[in-house]
Amino acid sequence: MRLTTVSHIVLGLVDQAGEATPYDLKQMAAGLSDLWSVQHAQVYREPGRLAAAGLLSEEKEEGGRRRRRFRLTAAGRAALRAWLAEPTADFTELRDPGLLRLFFGADAEPLARVQLEAHERKLREYEELAAAWPDDAPPGPRLALEAGLGHEREWVRFWRQIRDRSGAARRRR
Amino acid sequence: MRLTTVSHIVLGLVDQAGEATPYDLKQMAAGLSDLWSVQHAQVYREPGRLAAAGLLSEEKEEGGRRRRRFRLTAAGRAALRAWLAEPTADFTELRDPGLLRLFFGADAEPLARVQLEAHERKLREYEELAAAWPDDAPPGPRLALEAGLGHEREWVRFWRQIRDRSGAARRRR
DNA sequence: GGGTACATGTAATCAGTTACATGATTTA
DNA sequence: TAAATCATGTAACTGATTACATGTACCC
């Protein structure tokens, strides 16, 4: 079985939690969605595949909601560690829908306004998150948040400049 | 027919070129790949779909490579303009494979080294592109490049900081 | 004329999304 | 006990990727 990014996310989340039901995974994945979003259908299917491949153990509850409860096996832990230890040089394209429109000649000012507002909101959200961050939390998520902060600041700077520039250009006309 | 992002990219590229064969589109799409990559199989199939929907006109060469040559129809131009005029507030998650590993607890230093190198290379590439930019070029691609520059600078700053920080932590031990 | 790079396409697969369907628990 | 919401799953679809297949032009 080929392991996808979603596989590794599920392995990583189960590792963090110790054990997890699909619903637990769904909740945890929601907290990760600004970095890498995962659909609920995937989060319910993927652990089954991973269990079939021997990377997770599965335990079924009898009564009630008949939850499936997953844990890492030794093989799963090894697979996760191997993935973490690959110092990948890959990075992805920006894939930004607003920027794409700008590329193809969209009118900059209205676009800049709505983009700026959206990114300012996201930046505030991150700042609040960072301010409330517990000192004893693991470092990984904190570093990811710092990266997010940096990029949101950059987006705000970028769109603000676009807005001001095109505003000035309009006034000159 | 539902128009996807790839549809709009193809419409945008045909608009820029006036007319284009699938191969032309492939070449142009390569220049866009840092912003939004498109596979060659898509670039050969999509114009056919758009032509069937009446958004592109198709003209077949007789001899030689029997190229298909596409142009925007009035409907195609309208669809492109409508898409450009939507001031979207959407933006996507970071989806960065390195950052994801950091999130799940990867050893920061080796990762930071290879990421830093990759982003420095990309940043240099963008800077050279910007330096050689013709003055009479349309503004859209230039703005997209400026966004790319900003984000690459931010990535370099981020990974450099991670590297230095974890280097210092290691020396303290 | 034989090799290589360029060019063009389709078939098969697969991951991811959307939509549907239903059961369990809580609350008014 | 009815309604709402929480929780759990699967089926169908579709967009994207990978792999395959082949033809054309150019260069040595």
* pLDDT (tens digit per residue) in A26-84: 999 999 999 999 999 999 999 999 999 999 999 987 666 678 999 999 999 999 999 99
Q: Return mean pLDDT, chain B.
A: 94
Q: Residue A163 pLDDT more than 80?
A: yes
Which amino acid residue lies closest to nucleotide C7, measuring CA to C1'?
B23
pLDDT for B63 equals: 58
pLDDT for A66 equals: 75
Q: Do B84 and A107 touch (CB under 8 A)?
A: yes
Q: Is A100 on the interface with B (CB under 8 A)?
A: yes
Which amino acid residue lies closest to nucleotide D17, measuring CA to C1'?
B39
Q: Is B18 on the interface with A (CB under 8 A)?
A: no
pLDDT for A1 equals: 79
Which amino acid residue lies closest to nucleotide D18, measuring CA to C1'?
B41
pLDDT for B62 equals: 61
DSSP state of A133: -
pLDDT for A64 equals: 61
Q: Residue B152 pLDDT more than 70?
A: yes
A31 CB-contact burial (10 Å; exposed 0-12 / middle 13-18 / buried 19+): exposed
**C1' of C12 to CA of A105 (Å):** 37
Do residues A70 and A15 touch, judged by C-beta distance below 8 A? no
Give the pLDDT band (50/70/90) at residue B155: very high
Q: Residue B22 pLDDT more than 80?
A: yes
Do residues A9 and A55 touch, judged by C-beta distance below 8 A? no
Pick from A34, A92, A95, A104 the residue to mutate for testing the B interface (most B CBs within 10 Å): A104
A111 neighbourhood in chain B, CB within 8 Å: 87-88
pLDDT > 70 in chain B, percent: 97
Bridge partner residues of B142 (DSSP): none
Alpha-carbon distance of A147 to A164, in angstroms, equals: 26
Instruction: Report the Cα–Cα distance between both ends of chain A, in Å, rounded.
Output: 61
Q: Which residues touch strand C (CB under 7 A)?
A: A 2, 4-6, 37-42, 64-65; B 21-23, 26, 40-41, 44-45, 48, 65-68
Q: Residue B27 pLDDT more than 70?
A: yes
Strand D lies under 7 A from the Cβ of residue A44 = yes
Q: Residue B173 pLDDT more than 90?
A: no
Closest CA to A140 of B85, B44, B98, B74: B98
pLDDT digit string, tens, across residues A141-158: 999 999 999 999 999 999
A139 neighbourhood in chain B, CB within 8 Å: 105
Distances (CA, A) of B29 to A8, A13, B142: 30, 36, 16
For the segment B67-76, the average pLDDT, to the nearest whole number, is: 95
pLDDT digit string, tens, across residues A77-110: 999 999 999 999 999 999 999 999 999 999 999 9
What's the token pair of residue B35?
């912003």
More confident residue, B65 or A152: A152
Q: Is A110 on the interface with B (CB under 8 A)?
A: yes
pLDDT for A42 equals: 97
